[in-house]
Amino acid sequence: MADPYLRLDQLEVTFTGGRSPVRAVNGVDLTVDSGETVALIGESGSGKSVTLRAILRLNPEKKTRIAGRITVGGRDVMGLGSKDLAQFRGGEVAMIFQEPLLALDPVYTLGEQITEAIRRHETISKADARARALGLFERVRIPSPERRLDTYPHEMSGGMRQRAMIALALACNPKVLLADEPTTALDATVQIQILLLLRDLQREFGLSIIFVTHDLGAAVEVADRIAVMYAGRIVEEGTARDIINTPRHPYTIGLLKSRAHGAMTKGKRLDAIAGSPPDLANLPPGCAFAARCPWAIDECRRTRPELIRTETGTQARCLRTDQTLTRPGEFVGA
CA–chain centroid gap for 185, Å, is 16
Residues 6 or more apart whose Cβ sits within 8 Å of residue 115 = 126, 129, 130, 133
Q: Confirm if 145 and 164 have CB atoms less than 8 A apart.
A: no
Could you give the CA distance from residue 330 to residue 257 in angstroms, rounded to a whole number? Answer: 11
Position 327 scores a pLDDT of 45
Q: Where are the beta strands (DSSP E) in the chain?
A: 6-15, 22-32, 37-41, 64-72, 75-76, 93-96, 176-180, 208-213, 225-230, 233-239, 308-309, 315-316, 325-327, 330-331
Q: What is the pLDDT along the chain (334 residues), one digit of tens a residue?
A: 578 999 999 999 999 987 889 999 999 999 999 999 999 999 988 999 999 999 999 999 899 999 999 999 999 999 999 999 999 999 999 999 888 888 899 999 999 999 999 999 999 999 999 999 999 999 999 999 999 999 999 999 988 999 999 999 999 999 999 999 888 777 888 888 888 899 999 998 899 999 998 888 888 888 999 999 999 999 999 999 999 888 889 999 888 888 765 555 566 777 788 888 999 999 999 999 999 998 888 999 999 999 888 887 789 999 887 663 544 444 443 3
Q: Confirm if 177 and 72 have CB atoms less than 8 A apart.
A: no
Position 187 scores a pLDDT of 82
Position 333 scores a pLDDT of 39
Could you give the CA distance from residue 37 to residue 1 in angstroms, rounded to a whole number? Answer: 18
Position 1 scores a pLDDT of 59
Position 128 scores a pLDDT of 96
Size of the chain in residues: 334
DSSP element (H, E) containing 113: helix 110-121
Alpha carbon dihedral 168, 170, 176, 178, in 10-degree steps, equals: 30
Position 324 scores a pLDDT of 38
Q: Confirm if 95 and 180 have CB atoms less than 8 A apart.
A: yes
Residue type, 309: R
Position 89 scores a pLDDT of 95
Backbone angles phi, psi at 27, to 5 degrees: 75, 50
Position 261 scores a pLDDT of 59
DSSP element (H, E) containing 250: helix 250-257
**In 3D, which of 221, 207, 210 has the Cα closest to residue 34?**
207
> What is the 8-class DSSP label of residue 79?
G
Q: Confirm if 201 and 137 have CB atoms less than 8 A apart.
A: no
Q: Residue 7 forms beta bridges with which residues?
A: 31, 71
Position 329 scores a pLDDT of 44
